[in-house]
Amino acid sequence: MNDYKDNPGSPPPYEPPHVDPGVADAEARQWAMFAHLSALVGGVVTAGWAGSIGCFIGPLIIWLVKKDTMPFVDDQGKEALNFNITVAAVFLALLILSIVTLGIGLVIAIPAWIIIGLAWLVFTIIAGIKANEGVRYRYPFTLRLIK
């Protein structure tokens, strides 16, 4: 028998690629990316009448539909949902501060909304890219409400 170890000039025998069960396949990575980036779509579509509330509708739908069949999407969908709920809660708290202080709180709220909005945009794009690479991304400053 012609063994590869005995004859280094011969081609190595075919070995099927090793698939790690913990690694997400291409479809799961794509759905996880959609879970993150759907927040951007929700933010754009509902910005006029629902503000940051629309940002967690997309991740919620994707997570609910795919959580039982794709563990990676379950993990990343929950992460996207938790992050967008956290951002919505902070935006709402700043709005309440502005109302309670009869507009004086806007001195704090407007710059905070701008900074948080930019951070939300950047972190969401980073999360979408990482999810597409198969990396389990964790947003900073996120309340993990859905476990």
Per-residue pLDDT of the chain (147 residues; tens, 9 = 90+): 555 566 666 666 666 554 454 567 999 999 999 999 999 888 778 765 566 677 888 899 999 999 999 999 999 999 999 999 999 899 999 999 999 999 999 999 999 999 999 999 999 999 999 999 999 999 999 999 888
Q: Supply the DSSP symbol for 10.
A: S
Q: What is the Cα–Cα distance from 132 to 13, expressed in whole angstroms?
A: 32
Name the pTM for this structure: 0.79
3-state secondary structure 56-105: HHHHHHHHHHHCCCCHHHHHHHHHHHHHHHHHHHHHHHHHHHHHHCCCCC
